[in-house]
Every structure is written in structure tokens, then in C-alpha cells.
Amino acid sequence: MRLEIGNIFIKDVQFGSETKVESNVLYVNKEELIKELSGDEHIKSIDIEIARPGESVRITPVKDVIEPRVKVEGPGGIFPGVLSKVDTVGQGRTHVLKGAAVVTTGKIVGFQEGIIDMTGPGADYTPFSKLFNIVVIAEPVDGLSQHEHEKAVRMVGFKAAKYLGEVARNLTPDEVKVYETETLLEGMKKYPDLPRVGYVYMLQTQGLLHDTYVYGVDAKQIVPTILYPTEVMDGAIISGNCVSACDKNPTYVHLNNPIIEDLYERHGKDINFVGVIITNENVYLADKERSSNMTAKLAKYLGLDAVIISQEGFGNPDTDLIMNCKKIEMEGIKTVIVTDEYAGRDGASQSLADADVRANAVVTGGNANEVVVLPPMEKVIGHVEYVDTIAGGFAGSLREDGSIEVEIQAITGATNETGFGYLTAKTY
């Protein structure tokens, strides 16, 4: 499967009378976008703000971050099974507004939403401070359940990203990158001497507000399966969860999964990147055993020499991570796990809730319990009063002067396990 990604580099975002890209500036018709997003009975008001890198702006609570993309050639459309019809995506051409993102905020949905600072020490912990953010503030009607609230805000974000992505349809990209995965037989013939490497992509699926969707289906309902890596780039996997901000995968991270990017960079050079095995994270032991058994079976069936495994979340999912690692290693396949750590504020506690001697190659995203102080910002988009109650915050986190003392788990994308601090480890 072959996909071309056409990147249109965005160097600024401004409000304007017409939504368009001109000289690498994204102009947004605010009124038109609000009208496009209105109409959901669960949302009583919508507003749009812009947050640029380096500005004294804090966005909180952050629900999702989404990159605007549009499918211009090939089957299906962006976010298949959600905004586009159900069709297999991942081939043809997709255009991207690279450097821009939609960020959704408003009244808090769950207690694990996060913070994006566009400047200061907090900005150093989140990749989203480097983007030109179109922030959608979606306020719910009174008395709305958390589940309905999450869905309403999720859909508002996807609609905003699709609306903005559409302006890239007829533009000439500044850069075109090609990603191609051969069939199993073609790959074996083409790269007979290269080690066969796969990616085990663990998706957060542990209960209400811990949802990830695959072609529109809640991944709680799936068994492990195989995807072409390029399917992920067209939005086959999207976020719907509210796990701790530092280690959740916003939709932006799924669209730009850096493990997939790194493996493609080495494909045909020193590895044969065979593909992606997606699996869910489960609550009950029997479900964990079933999914990890099937994941190891698929890795063996593909004839892999090595895999990289990433998880989403922490604590209970550590067991899924270690089960996957252990069972794949027992098939004679080398593994590297990618995770963050919860080692206590002093760094002296056990980092993961589970462990095994076979988990001997680890890429860490850092200790999410580390405490940082975020200075006050001149402007807050959203509702800063929830800082004391989000994961990583505590009574008194929000100080009178507007500064915030929190664990870095409260910062969106700070230690993300598939994240942007990832370093590919050699496993063969």
C-alpha cells in the first residue's frame, strides 16, 4: 500500500473573511467555522480562539488535539467510519496543514484532561506548544452526562479539522513524502536479508471515557488485528479518551505516530517494516490473556524478528504491556517496550505496575510524577479552575498569582508513550 502525504507548511494562523491558505498563512473565517460546528443539541455555545507558539497563553482543560487533513486521491476519506464512509484508507494522497492543529476545550469532561502552555517551562514539555492552534471552546448544556459530553466535544473537534483540512485540497504541497508497505511476499523477496520488524500498537480501551476508535468502532470490541501503517495516517485510529494528559494519545499523535515515522525512515535500509498489529488494553485478566495471546500469535505468523511495543496509559495497562512483551519474547522475537514511568515525586518508587525479566529493552518517556511550576500566563483559554482536580493536580495547585504547581502528568503530551521524545532502539 502506497500513500503520499502532501505537507502544506503553516507559518501563522489569523482570522479573516475567507478560510484559505495564502503565503503559508492559514486564514480562518471564525463565523463560518462556528456555524459549521453548531447544531449539536448537547453544546450550548461555541467560540474560537487562536494560540500561537511563544504567546503568553494557557489552554486548559484540553480534550483533544487534531491535525487538519484532507483525502485528495484514493479510496475513502479522512476519519473513515466517523466523518467519512467506512472504506479502507491509507493509499493515494492526503494533504496536511502541517504546523496547524485544532485543540478542543471547554468545561471539563473527565478529571484527566490537561494543560498546554504556549510559552515558558510548560511549553518545553508539550509538542503542541510548537503548533499554530485553532482552539475550539465548546460549552455543554447543563446536566449533560460525561459520556454524551465527551462524544459531543470529540465530534466538534473532528468537524473543525475536516473543515480546515478542506482548504488544502487543491493546494500544491510544499513537500510530498511517500510511505509504502509491500505485501508479505513482496517484502520477503525485495528485502531477503533485512530483519523483519513490526509495531505492536496498544490502544487505550479501559472503561468509560477511556475509548479509542478504529474505523469508527470502539476498540473495546476488537480483537488484535493487522493494519497497514498508512491507514493510521488517514485517521483510521482516533482518540476518544480522557486518560492522564501526559500519556494519552490525542488524535494528532495517532495521525503523526513517530514510531511509525521512524520505522518507515529505516524501511528498506536496515529493516523491513512489515506492519502494525493493533491491540486493546483490558480490565479483566481473561481479556488481557486473550488479547496478548493473539498479539503474540500474529507477531509469529508475520515471521517477525523484532517488535516495538507502545502502550497508552499507566498502571493497569502495564500488565497488558508486560504480557505482550513476555509472550512475544517467548516466541523468539526480540522486543523493545516504549512507556513512561510513575516513580513517585522523588523517583524512588517502582516505575511500572508490572515487570518481567524479558522486558530488558525499554525506551522511557520519563517520570510523570515529577513536579513542575508553571508561571502565570497573560491569557487563559478554557477553565483554569479545574487545575486542582485534574490528574497531576492537587488542592492548592492553582496559586493566587495564576501560577500552577503540578506533576507533569497534567501537561498534554508531556511523556507520551508513542510520543515525540521517542528514540528507536535497535532490537536485532
Question: Which are the catalytic amino acids?
Answer: 242
C-beta separation of 309 from 232 below 8 A: no
Angstrom distance (rounded) from CA 279 to CA 336: 16
Phi-psi region of 207 (alpha: psi -120 to 50; beta: other; left: phi over 0): left
Question: For residue 346, with 0-12 CB atoms within 10 Å meaning exposed, 13-18 middle and 19 or more buried, which class applies?
Answer: exposed
- Bridge partners (DSSP) listed for residue 200: 277, 309
Query: Where is 374: in which H helix or E strand?
Result: strand 371-374
In angstroms, the CA 36 to CA 19 distance is 12
CA dihedral 340, 239, 422, 321 (to 10 degrees): 50
Give one DSSP letter per residue of 76-110, joined into a string: S-SSBTTTB-S---SSEEEEEEETEEEEEESS-SS
Counting beta carbons within 10 angstroms of the beta carbon of residue 330, is it exposed (0 to 12), middle (13 to 18) or buried (19 or more)? exposed
Which has the closest alpha carbon to 137: 312, 376, 379, 394?
Answer: 379
Q: Name the 3-class secondary structure at 33.
A: helix
User: Rounded distance, CA 139 to CA 42, Å?
Assistant: 9
Tell which residue, 42, 148, 142, 153, has the closest CA to residue 103: 153
